[in-house]
Amino acid sequence: MRGSPLAWPSAWPLAGNSESRSCRRRLNAHWNQPLKILILKPSSLGDVVQALPVLRLLKQQLPHSQIYWWVDSKLAPLLDGDPDLAGVVKFERRHWFTPSRWRRVWSSMVWIRAQAFDWVIDLQGLARSGFVTWVANGQLTVGLDDAREGANGFYDLRTRPSPFLTHAVDRYLGILPLLGLAVHHNFQWLPPRPAVAAALRRKWPVDGFRWLIVQPGARWLNKRWPDEYFAQTVRQLAAEHSDLRFAILGGNEDRPLGERIAGVLPDRCLDLTGALTLPEMVEWIRLSQLMVTNDTGPMHVAAALGKTVVAPFGPTEPCRTGPYGQLDHVLQLKLPCVPCLKSRCTYHQPMECLKALTPATLIPAARKLLAHGSSVGRVPPCPPL
């Protein structure tokens, strides 16, 4: 290792074996130059957002380090131009499965190897990221204890096992103590992009209204609150708040949902499904007062921005993947199958966990939050068990 001002901890997760002692010796040698660090977290949107605190705290405590992030090219716009990154290494998923593109994959791996990274931090923990960890050949490789598909075989150090209900943000942050770094929440998760915000205001009639964001889509179909429930919620809240406008977010695949919901009140709704870049989506959420959302990546963006969310949950566990610091804004029914953690519903009453969660339950929660402003405090979402 080429250099660090840190005093390394004496007790590593693998302390006692010769490999751990060798690792400590390498860590304590030749601390003269800034570190060059590679973070591996290619997807998905919500996971990348939840991993950003690792980047922020690395840069805070190692300000002269050069940090790179390996990420899916579709998510790269979220990180492009980030003040804490020296570079974004784009991962083209389709190239890995197309023999005619393997030369490009090889070129990318050669480039990563040539960078001579000091630290490689794998926050994905799957076979592909494990392979990239090996290719990078860092002086120190660090990963998560629950890595799968053999990825943890490529790490020098692994986080300690965490309780099942540990939030993803806190699991990722568990990397930092291994590196002798402190964990706290005094950082800006997603810095503003003034140019993007200004362009957004020129493009859409933003000013003069309070905006409620509606996010009706989700990758898992069984995480989707019925779109007619979103429509009922929009209609009721619009009747109660004349200054409220509704921006409907989503990808191209969500356009039918956006059209149906916006059709309820065309003069009060702005259907933005399929119309926004990732930076534009972030700035739209930043200017909003409230977000009503399924368990999706944009929900995690809102939580990262400190924007209030109301989130109906079905098959997933909010303590693990809910809006960070806002568990009290999650609505989830107590059914025998909840949370099933499955991407397909097999319950004898299909989708009952969300169908039985009616607007009559969600609207009062949204009404109360609209009356109390747009930001929330950042507190740990779940106590350790």
What CATH number does residue 32 fall under? Answer: 3.40.50.2000
Is 360 part of any domain? yes
Sorted by sequence, the CB contacts under 8 Å of residue 366 that are 6+ apart come out as 212, 233, 237, 290, 292, 310
Tell me: do 55 and 173 sit in the same domain: yes
Our CA angle for 172, 175, 177, nearest 5°, is 130
Angstrom distances, CA of residue 7 to CA of 31, 58, 297: 11, 15, 36
Q: What is the pLDDT at residue 19? A: 53
Rounded to the nearest angstrom, the gap between the alpha carbon of residue 204 and the centroid of all alpha carbons in its chain is 26
Residue 159 CB neighbour total at 10 angstroms: 23
Q: Are strands 119-122 and 87-91 parallel, antiparallel or unpaired?
A: unpaired
Domain tally, the chain: 2
- The kind and range of the H/E element at 51 are helix 45-61
* pLDDT tens digits, 43-93: 999 999 999 999 999 999 999 999 999 999 999 999 999 999 999 999 887
Let me know: does 157 contact 181? Beta carbons within 8 Å. no
What global pTM score does this model have? 0.88
How far apart CA 357 and CA 229 sit, in angstroms, is 9
| Helix and strand element counts for the chain (H, E) | 15, 12
Is 172 part of any domain? yes
Tell me: do 174 and 304 sit in the same domain: no
How far apart CA 291 and CA 269 sit, in angstroms, is 14
Tell me: do 221 and 146 sit in the same domain: no
Q: What is the pLDDT at residue 320? A: 96
- Amino acid (1-letter code) at residue 277: T
Tell me: do 107 and 55 sit in the same domain: yes
| Among candidate residues 150, 178, 206, the one where a domain is terminated | 178
Tell me: do 206 and 91 sit in the same domain: no
Is 248 part of any domain? yes
Tell me: do 171 and 201 sit in the same domain: no
How far apart CA 113 and CA 137 sit, in angstroms, is 7
Tell me: do 92 and 223 sit in the same domain: no
DSSP symbol at 307: B
Tell me: do 352 and 238 sit in the same domain: yes
Q: What is the pLDDT at residue 150? A: 67
| Among candidate residues 178, 210, 245, the one where a domain is terminated | 178
Tell me: do 167 and 203 sit in the same domain: no
Tell me: do 172 and 24 sit in the same domain: yes
How far apart CA 218 and CA 220 sit, in angstroms, is 5
Rounded to the nearest angstrom, the gap between the alpha carbon of residue 291 and the centroid of all alpha carbons in its chain is 16
Range(s) of the domain holding residue 210: 194-370
Is 13 part of any domain? no
- State whether residue 258 is helix, strand or coil: helix
Q: What is the pLDDT at residue 338? A: 92
Is 105 part of any domain? yes
User: What strands, in cross-sheet order, belong to the sheet with 330-331?
Assistant: 269-271, 244-248, 210-215, 290-293, 308-312, 330-331
How far apart CA 292 and CA 329 sit, in angstroms, is 10
Sorted by sequence, the CB contacts under 8 Å of residue 45 that are 6+ apart come out as 75, 78, 278, 296, 297, 298, 300, 301
Tell me: do 142 and 285 sit in the same domain: no
Is 333 part of any domain? yes
Tell me: do 209 and 132 sit in the same domain: no
Is 12 part of any domain? no
- pLDDT tens, position by position, for the chain (385 residues)? 333 333 333 333 443 344 554 555 555 543 457 999 999 999 999 999 999 999 999 999 999 999 999 999 999 999 999 999 999 999 887 766 677 677 787 888 899 999 999 999 999 988 888 899 999 999 999 999 888 776 787 889 999 888 989 999 999 999 999 999 999 999 999 999 999 999 999 999 899 999 999 999 999 899 999 999 999 999 999 999 999 999 999 999 999 999 999 999 999 999 999 999 999 999 999 999 999 999 999 999 999 999 999 999 999 999 999 999 999 999 999 999 999 989 899 888 888 999 999 999 999 999 999 998 655 433 334 433 2
Query: Could you tell me the two tokens for 33?
Result: 């130059």
Let me know: does 288 contact 306? Beta carbons within 8 Å. no
Closest CA to 249 of 301, 199, 203, 208: 301
